[in-house]
Structure 1
Amino acid sequence: MIKISSIRSILENTLFIWIGLTLIITLAGNALVLPDWLQVVGRSHPILLHFPIVLLLMGLLFFWIPGIDKKPEIREIGEISFLAGCNFAGITVIAGLILAQEEYTGEILTWHKWGGLAVFVGCVLLYFFRSIKANLIRFSSIALALAIIATGHWGAGLTHGEDFLLAPIQTDEIEVIPLAEAEIFGDVVQPILQAKCVSCHKEGKIKGELRMDHIKGLQKGGKSGPFVLAGDFEKSLLIQRINLPEDDKKHMPPKNKAQLTDEELLILSEWVASGASFDQKLVTLPPKNELFQLASVKFEGNKIYSFEAADPEAIDELNTSFRSVMPLFPESPALDVSYFGISAFQPKSLTDLKKVKDQVVRFSLNKMPLAGIDLKFLKDFTHLEELQLNFTDLDAEQLKIVSELKSLEVLAISGNVIDNSSLQNLSKMNGLKKLFIWQTGLSSQDKESIQKALPDTEIDFGFDGKGIIYELNSPIISQDKMIYEDSLEISISHPIKTAEIRYTLDGTEPDSISSPIYSKPIFTKKTGKIIAKAYAKDWKSSKGSESVFIHSGFKPSESSLAFDPNPKYKAAGVATLFDSEKADPPNHGQKWLGFQDDPMVLEVSFEQESKPTEVSISLLYNEGAHIFPPSKVTIQGLENGKWQLLASNSPEVSAKAAPARTELMNMNLGSSSYEKLKITLTPLSSLPKWHPFAGDKGWVFVDEVIFNK
């Protein structure tokens, strides 16, 4: 039988081995190249750490037993337990130092690493100096116990998150966010990433060099590529990994972790398809957008309606170019009806809605010309809860009908004149939860009166212009087409009718003095870019709204590309440039030609009588997806067998990333006589220093080349 003294000797000598190995790994750091089998030892760190914790704490208790000096047998058990704990602490520290080289970084790791080393050093010193004064030993044992607890806490933070320990006693109240304020990323996408991804990609544990616990880390991407590229599924690391088979080692989340639901997969995919914005509001998406329909449910309260759903065919028939009829959220029988386009409004079309009168819950007729229209049909909508009638020229009789709708909870009638009789009728609507009546001509006394009559209603009287200057909303630019053949009508509107709208047609910023004032629809036969701003007294001018308009001109008789576009972005080849179909900015791979390694070199010929003097090139800019303005654009004409430079342009390199957008470059050729044209667009050879992937090649994306005289 092995004597206790022999066990003690073996453990003491072994202890020095762990001390030596710890010093080597700590001092050598990343300079060491460890064999793969040692990684297995490193990954056993979470298993090993329980042994030293138990043995050390048990050994420390023996230092507190009264009169232990007079009980050598008990003291020896305590010392052997403590010595064994010191050995396991050494093994655990070595395993942890090896594991720390596997993509673990950050402040928590630093605290955990040096805390573990402090525990190991502390227990070694306490063991070899255990014969000094009892009071000093007991004080040291308390300090060591606290170090063990702190180190364990930091380790739990690395594995489970910083708030793991205190999570059970923290509040679990969920902040209710209104739909109007909800952000696509912050309120819809980020919670999915927090639940399914961040545990492996956060402070202290950054697998694949991808950090997902803050936006900058997501924008930077990982060692395998960008986290997301707007509209680009093939190059977005997120979409690649979540769609791999679950057995694939690169599939995310790993198969031993909670997997994404079908709805979560769809939300992440639709987020990338919609532009992968980190600050876009959910309400800016079209109501029919699948991401909007999926995500908005979260912020709508999901009220359950017991009435029967309308006939799907009837709903399809009611959806037109000027009217939208759709469920409040997927699978709901409740319907949301909206009219848009003042010029297309047909009062008779209101009677069509009788087919769905029992299902309409929300109804928006904002800015529709309702003057003189009988609104009694609204009484047929027995479940109508929200009615939007802003800026519709309502009279007192129409407002009286509206005030008799007993099911209403939300009413918006801003921009209509409210007289005394209308005010009295509105004051009887005790069932209203919200009432919007700004810009209705009410006096301070009128406001006080209706507020007193409806104490439980949230009433919005709007902006009073006293001491605070707000920024106007941007004007709304409407045009039937972006590429047209003969002439194009462009109209501009603003919800505040008194606002002055100024515009330009040459792509320059309008001002409040020299730019033309919009008063009636604009007709154009040219190619250009309209920018419009709104101005009003006591308001800040709006941001500019802009839209491109392209006269289709005439097509070349022959065309060819010297270099093929990238296979991922080839659309229909050279024919794409002359199909008069404008591509959608977020969908890079649909109708855009993409060039990166080679320039776009386009050669075109024309019939003798159809030689253009103006060339317009439709480009896509999306800096986050590496799509920049060309570094240089040249147009050459073939004259007498030689290419002569007719026009050139070197656009400014973008100074920051902006959402995906279409830009139009116009170039004048003068009166040169040429046989053929050669248009060359050279991609940016090196992304600017501010870009997360500075130094990489840029892309040039083109969808249309237009020729006019």
Structure 2
Amino acid sequence: MQTVKRIGGGVLFGSMVFLLFLVVFESFLHIPSWLAVAGRLHPMFLHFPIVLLLISFFTMWIPVSKGAENEWLSLLRLTAALSAVITAILGMLLSLEDVSGGDLLLWHKWGGVSIAILGFLFYSYHDFLVKHIVFTKFFTVAATFAIIITGHWGANLTHGVDYVLAPVLNQQKEFVPPEKAVVFADVIQPILESKCTGCHSASKLKGELLLENLKGVLAGGKSGPLFIPGQPDTSLMIRRLHLPVDDKKHMPPAAKPQLTEAESALLYAWIKSGAVTESKLFSLPEQDSFRLLATNYLQADENTAEPVYDFEAADEKKVLALNNNYRMVVPLGKNSPALSVNLYGRNIFSTKALEELLPVKQQIVELNLSRLPVKDEDMKVIQQLVNLQKLNLNYTDVTAKGVEQLNTLQKLREITLSGTAVTAAALAKILPLPELESVFVWDTKIDSLQLQPLKKKFSNVYIETGYIDKGDVIIALSPPIIKTPQGIFNKTTTLEIKHPFKGVDIRYTLDGTQPDSLSGKLYTEPIAVDQSVTLIAKAYKKGWYGSTPVQAAFIKQGFVPDSISFITRPDPKYSAETPALLTDGTLGDFANFSNGEWLGYQKNEAAYYLFFNKAVSPKNVLFQMLQNTGGHIFPPAKIEVWGGIDKAQLKLLGKLTPVIPEKNKPAASLQESVSLTTAEVLCLKIIIKPISALPAWHNNKGKPGWVFLSELVVN
């Protein structure tokens, strides 16, 4: 026994010296690969000193008889001290692999070294400690506390910050209603905190990436920026999320909790919509894909049990293939086979966009076609979605005949038909559906007298015809509805605005400025316009908060060029085969700048030739452009219009320097008009120069901005 103790004591002393050497010279050391392998054994060894040290400390609190048993207790203390030192050495070797571990790694490392020193002292000076039992008990308590706190730091390193207290802390999280939510703080940051900050916090700075706050997210890490606003498919964050789970670069690592489908879809949609940060969620366009997803995400009740479906999940590759700039197909929740589908782009919608969904018709339970030109014949496709539960046909072109065709959807629970040509007779055809719970038909021709017998006969179905204000609620109004589709018009057009609530004041402007309850014009009847306008409207009512604004552009048709050609081509990501896109009479949707309706420029100016077969005398040129500061999309630095008889004989007819928007301005469609000096021309040359450097207040100040164009009109 004495020989064993003598050899063990020598090994303990030598190991202690080696540990102190590593501590002193760690910044100068580069370990070979075989030692790195040894360092990775640290998590396996660390359990031994914890148990052995605690047992040996415990022996100081109970009476022990003298004799041979003391030899075994001495061997226990030696084994405990030696295992503590070896574990600390392995931990030091492991820490040398990642010098950017942050404060948490530093504290855990020094805690481990301290425990090794305490174990060494406990064994080497045991005879002294036995003679001073009060001091010894204090020593064991302090050492036990050091073991607990160091183990806690280690758990945080392995499983994430506040790993132990996470169940309690998560219960204290406050619910933020969507109408009050700030994009980054209330939607994006909670996702990062729950799934990412365990490895990317100030206390554990893996990859030099800090995800605890907005500044760190925007700064990126060792591998570069996390994302490129508007370009999710080329953004590092999305690429890492979509790697196979067993890939070492997949984030989060396979051993960590993974993002749900809803969380992944939110991050993708956030980057795609421009990655705005400090704006309110409801300041985004009403049909913005991120706003729609985030609203559902925030409203989700975590205590609600996951519904059970009697169908298998669709092939993941099929689902991914269906997603494009005009259509979003996502699972309803983590591991859910059910799919939710949203379609966008009134100007490019077709029956084919619905027919392409048929390979996953069994899995679609929610379908949103709001404000699209959906016709009665499209119901033949929707009829095939046998598991459809929620259908939104608000402000579509569906008539009573089309609604009647939906009486075969046996799983339908909710249908919204507001602003359609539905009739009471057509409604009576679908109300008998066995699982139908609610129908929304406000702003239709169905009156209260026609609904009374239906409500009585189908009392199990809630039929909503419009809100009745009882004066006991103070919340934000929903935005008004601009019923007139935006676009190009000839001579005159009439703008119609509605709101589902009675007694609401609608205030509007026609110059692109924000209306308020005092300065905006009060809407009383349809507005006749004979010139290009940008309509912005808000709803107000006493006892309610004002609504978010709604916007639409209406541009008067001018001289149509006989041909148009590129001088400089747009960026390939935001391009078109021909520049005819700019004169096709279709305005781009400002809620989705990557939908093929916009031409984007950043590295070079936008320049075009417009040719007329007959001479014209234009007074101005109007440009529909985009403002999305979060996506680096700004008004141009300068617009120039040149004109003449041919390309070789041009003179400057007009120029404009648009105003750079202030911080946190919401995404919007802009109409910039350049006044021209009088001249007869057969050729116009348009030059639009993007800003060379984003303003000082921008998160990416100094970088070049983008210019996006959808239409130009010569008047």
Provide the TM-score with structure 1 as the length reference.
0.73
Task: Give the share of equivalent positions with the same residue, in percent.
Answer: 31
8 Å CA contact 1:568, 1:589 repeated in 2: no
Rounded to whole Å, the distance in 1 between the matches of 2:205 and 2:523 is: 55
Residue 440 (structure 2) aligns with? 388
- The answer as to whether partners of 2:455 and 2:463 remain within 8 angstroms in 1 is no
Question: Which amino acid is the alignment partner of residue 115 of structure 1?
Answer: G
Please give the alpha-carbon distance, in whole angstroms, between the structure 1 residues aligned to 2:146 and 2:248.
37
- One of 75, 78, 88 as aligned partner of 1:77: 75
- Which residue in the other structure is 2:328 paired with? none
Aligned partner of residue 483 in structure 2, secondary structure: strand
1:580-609 C-alpha deviation (Å, 9 max, x unpaired): 333333242623322222222334444452
Structure 2 Cα separation of the partners of residues 87 and 139 of structure 1 = 22
Amino acid at match of 1:599: E
In the other structure, the counterpart of 1:161 is: 160
Q: Which amino acid aligns with 1:590?
A: G
- Match of 2:671, as an amino acid? L
When the two chains are superposed, the root-mean-square deviation of aligned CA atoms in Å is 5.1
CA 85–550 in structure 1, closer or farther in 2 if over 3 Å, else same:
same
Aligned to 1:143: 142
What is the 5 A alignment of 1:623-638? 623-637=629-643
Gap change, CA 1:205 and 1:656, over 3 Å in 2: same
1:588 equivalent to 2:594? Answer yes
Structure 1 residue 494: deviation in Å? 1.8
2:112 maps to what in 1?
A: 116
Q: Give the Cα–Cα distance (whole angstroms) in 2 for the partners of residues 651 and 329 of structure 1.
A: 51
Question: Mean alpha-carbon deviation: is it higher for 245-254 or for 581-590?
Answer: 245-254
User: How far off its partner does 1:8 sit?
Assistant: 1.8
Helix, strand or coil at the partner of 2:663: coil
User: How much has 1:55 moved relative to structure 2?
Assistant: 4.2
Deviation at 1:77, TM superposition (A): 1.9
Q: Please, which runs of 5 or more residues in structure 2 have no aligned partner? A: 311-354
Distance in 1, Cα, partners of 2:261 & 2:542: 51
What one-letter code is carried by the residue in structure 1 that aligns with 2:78? I
Amino acid at match of 1:116: G
1:479 positional shift:
2.3
Q: How does 1:130-209 map to 2 (within 5 A)?
A: 130=126, 131-132=128-129, 133-135=131-133, 136-165=135-164, 199-202=198-201, 204-209=203-208
Q: Which residue of 2 aligns with 1:458?
A: none
- How many angstroms does 1:166 deviate by? 5.5
Residue 50 of structure 1, aligned match among 47, 52, 55? 47
Q: Is the 8 A contact 2:624 2:670 kept in 1?
A: yes
Cα shift at 1:531? 1.8
> Is residue 503–residue 517 contact of structure 1 (8 Å, CA) maintained in 2?
yes
Alpha-carbon deviations, 1:100-158, whole Å to 9, x = none?
51x4235x445424433432343344455442543212321221122112111221122
- Residues 524-552 of structure 1: per-residue CA shift (max 9 Å, x gap): 34323112233445555544322112234
CA 1:690–1:96 in structure 2 vs 1: closer, same or farther (change >3 Å)? farther
Provide TM-score, normalisation by structure 2: 0.73
Partner Cα distance (1:550, 1:134) in 2: 93
Task: Report if the CA contact (8 A) 1:211-1:222 is conserved.
Answer: yes
- Decide which moves more: 562-571 or 189-198: 189-198
Deviations 1:547-576 (A, max 9, x none): 112234334456444443223333325343
Deviation at 1:76, TM superposition (A): 4.1
Q: Displacement of 1:251 after TM fit?
A: 3.8
What is the rounded CA distance, in whole Å, between the counterparts of 1:631 and 1:5 in structure 2? 82
Q: Which has the larger radius of gyration?
A: 1
Q: Quote how far apart the aligned CAs of 1:195 are.
A: 7.5
Alpha-carbon distance, 1:188 to partner: 9.4
User: What residue is the counterpart of 1:655 in the other structure?
Assistant: 663
CA contact (8 A) 1:483 1:551 kept: yes
1:404 partner letter: K
| Distance across 2 between alignment mates of 1:140 and 1:110 | 24
Q: Distance in 1 between matches of 2:650 and 2:390?
A: 66
| 1:159 positional shift | 0.9
User: In the alignment, which residue of structure 2 is the partner of 1:238?
Assistant: 237
Structure 2: which amino acid aligns with 1:408?
N
Question: 2:693 maps to what in 1?
Answer: 686
Q: Structure 1: 5+ residue runs without aligned partners?
A: 416-437, 440-461
What letter is aligned with 1:160?
Answer: H
Deviations 1:210-233 (A, max 9, x none): 455666655554444554555523
Task: Give the number of aligned pairs.
Answer: 644
How far apart, CA to CA, are the structure 2 residues paired with 1:626 and 1:99?
38
**What CA distance in whole angstroms lies between the structure 1 residues aligned with 2:461 and 2:177?**
16
Q: How far, CA to CA, are the matches of 1:589 and 1:36 in structure 2?
A: 52
Please tell me the residue identity of whatever aligns with 2:54. L
Task: Output the CA distance in 1 between the equivalents of 2:600 and 2:586.
Answer: 16
Asked if 1:352 is matched to 2:352, the reply is: no
One-letter identity of the residue aligned with 1:104: G
C-alpha distance 81-624 of structure 1, shift in aligned 2 (>3 A)? same
Q: Which residue of 2 aligns with 1:11?
A: 12
Contact 2:512 2:534 in 1 (8 A): yes
Cα contact 1:45–1:96 (8 A) shared by 2: yes
- Contact kept in structure 2, 1:210 and 1:221, CA below 8 Å: yes
Counterparts in 2 of 1:229 and 1:505: CA distance versus 1, 3 Å: same
Cα distance in 1 for residues equivalent to 2:390 and 2:595 = 34
Alignment of 1:614 onto 2:620: yes
- The 1:321/1:202 distance shift into structure 2, 3 A limit, reads same
Distance 1:328 1:145 in 2: 68
